Amino acid sequence: MDYLPLFYKVKNRQVLLVGGGKVALRKANFLLRAQAKIKLVAIEVCAELEELLADKKHEVSSRAFQNGDINEASLIVAATNNIELNKQIADAAAKLNIPVNVVDQPELCSFIFPSIVDRSPLIVAVSSSGKSPVLARLLRSRLETFIPSGYGTLSVFLGDFRNKVKSKINSLSARMRFWEKVINGPAAELLLAGKPEQAETIVESMLSDFDEKELSQGEVYLVGAGPGDPDLLTFRALRLMQQADVVLYDRLVSQEILYMTRQDADKIHVGKQREKHTMEQGEISSLLVKLAKSGKRVLRLKGGDPFIFGRGGEEIEQLAEANIPFQVVPGITAASGCSSYAGIPLTHRDYAQSVTFVTGHMKNNQCDLNWSHLVQEGQTVVIYMGLIGLPYICEQLIIHGRPGDTPIALIQKGTTPQQKIYIGTLDTLPEIIREKDVQAPTLIIVGEVVALHEKLSW
C-alpha cells in the first residue's frame, strides 16, 4: 500500500483552506461535513464561500497566504491554481509535519481524499491511491447501491448497546459472535423497517439469554481456495474467510487470497512444500482440534479443492473423532482451473469420454500408477504433482502403449498472472522443458484434447 487508510478527527479543530474559488468551496463543504473549524485564506473569496463560513467558529482572511497561517492547523488543504503558491504551502506543511492535500497535484500531497459512501456514522472510503479517481468514484457508486440507507441508523443503534454488551459478555470472540447474530438476525431487520422499540426488545432478550459457555466450542471450516485467481473463490468460502478467528493456510494459497481473510485473524502458515513440510500432517490436525476446543472459529484454507489431493479427509478425521463441528467448502480444483484457463476441455465428445486425475508424486524414483488403465483410448489424464516425474511418466505411458505423439500440456501457475503453458508430445515435452525455468505448481494434461488448445486458448 502506498497510503495508510484512516479516519481523522477534525471536529472543532482548525483546518487551513487556502483558495477562494469553486474548488475551495467544494472542499469547504466536505470539511464541514466532518465539523471542522475552517480558517480560509485567499486574496479573493467567492460569495458562496463567504456565506458558507459566516459562522463565528470559522475565520475568513481576504489576503495573501503567509507561512505563519499554518501554525495552528491540524490539516491543510491548498486549493489555489497557483502552482508556486501550492508548492510553498506544501513545503511549509512538510516542515511542521502537518498533513497537506494540494488539489490536483498528487506529488505535493501527503494525504489524499477518498471517494466516500456516507451513512454516518458508518463511512466507506474508496481510493485508487491517486491513480484513477474515476475508477474509485465508479466503485463508490456501486457500493452506494448495496449499502442500505438505514445502515447509519443501524450503526447508532448498535453503538448504543456497545457498553452494555461489553459488560455482560467478557470474551472478545463471544462478543463478536453476539454482534454477528444481532446484525444477521431479526433485530437489524426490524430496525431497518423503522421499528426501533421492537428491535431493542429483541437485543435485550438476546443479551439476557446469551450463554457465553455455549460458545466455548469453536468450529472448523475446511475451505478450498481454488487454484490461484481470487475471482474463483466461492461465495461461501469468502463468507467463512471473513468470519474465522484463526487461519491455517498452505503455500499454495496466494497472498491475494490471504488478504481477503479477516484482517485481525491470526494467520498460521502450515507449509506443504515438496520435502519441506513446515508442519506434519498430525500436528496440523491436532492444532485444528486444539484451536476449535478453545472456542475459535478456525479456517483451514487449502489450494484447489480440499478433497482432491489435499489430505482434507485426513485433517477432519480427528475433528470428527473429537466431535468438533466442521464444514467442508469445495474449491475449484487445479484440473478445472488450469484446463479452463488454458483452453483445454477435459472431456470432448470426439476425443475424450472420460477423465482421470492422478498424482505423479515420485517415491524412490518411481510412481506407482495403474499404467494399463491410463493408456486406454478416449481418455484424458490429469497429473497433479508431476513436474519432477515428468520424464518417467511420459516414458511409462509410452511403454504401456500410449502413442509417443499423444499431445501433452504442462501448465505452470494456472489461473494466475504467471500462468505459462508448454505444449508437446509424450516424446518431446520432457526435452522442451528441460532448459526452461519452470516454476511450481504445475499441472500436466495428457490426451487428444490438448490439441484443442491452439483453437480455444483465450
Footprint on this chain of ligand SAH (rule: CB under 6 A): 227-228, 252, 302-305, 308-310, 333-334, 338, 384-385, 411, 413-415, 441-443
**Angle between helix 312-321 and 281-293 (nearest 10):** 40
Distance in Å, CB of 290 to ligand SAH, minimum: 24
Looking at beta carbons only, is 291 or 445 nearer to ligand SAH?
A: 445
Residue among 79, 78, 106 nearest 23 (CA):
79
Closest approach of ligand SAH to the CB of residue 257, in Å? 11
Residue 209 annotated as catalytic: no
Nearer to ligand SAH, 190 or 253 (CB): 253
List all residues 6 or more positions away from 163 whose beta carbon is below 8 Å from its beta carbon: none
Q: Kindly state the smallest distance separating residue 251's Cβ from ligand SAH, in Å.
A: 9
Written as nine digits, the cell of 272 is: 506443504
Shortest approach of ligand SAH to residue 210 CB, angstroms?
39
The set of residues, in sequence order, having a beta carbon less than 8 Å from that of 109 and lying 6+ positions away, is 90, 100, 101, 102, 130
Verify whether residue 272 is a known catalytic residue: yes
User: Where do the DSSP E strands lie in 67-179?
Assistant: 75-78, 100-102, 115-119, 122-126
Burial of 131 (0-12, 13-18, 19+ CB in 10 A): exposed
Indicate the residue among 86 and 415 with the shorter CB distance to ligand SAH: 415
Please report, for residues 57, 285, 388, 420, 432, the alpha-carbon distance to residue 437 in angstroms, rounded to integers and kept in the order given.
67, 35, 13, 11, 11
Query: Rg of the chain's alpha carbons, rounded to an integer?
Result: 30
Across-strand partners of 410?
A: 422, 444
Q: Which is nearer to ligand SAH, 252 or 374 (CB)?
A: 252
Provide the residue type at 401 as one letter.
G
Residue 64 or residue 440: which is nearer to ligand SAH going by CB?
Answer: 440
What's the closest the beta carbon of residue 432 comes to ligand SAH, in angstroms? 17
If the CB atoms of residues 333 and 340 are measured against ligand SAH, the closer one turns out to be 333
* Closer CB to ligand SAH, 114 or 441, in the complex: 441
What are the b/e assignments for 10-36, b being 16+ CB within 10 Å?
beeebbbbbbbbebbbebbeebbebeb
Look at residues 57, 53, 21, 60 and name the one whose alpha carbon lies nearest to residue 39: 60
DSSP states of 312-364 as a string? HHHHHHHHHHTT--EEEE----HHHHHHHHHT--S-BTTTBSEEEEEE---BT
User: Which residue among 37, 272, 302, 413 is the active-site one?
Assistant: 272
Q: Which residue is nearest to ligand SAH (CB)?
A: 304
Q: From the candidates 69, 245, 250, 305, give the one annotated as an active-site residue.
A: 250
The nearest distance, CB 455 to ligand SAH, in angstroms, is: 22
Q: Minimum Å distance from CB 416 to ligand SAH?
A: 6
Which residues form the catalytic set?
Answer: 250, 272
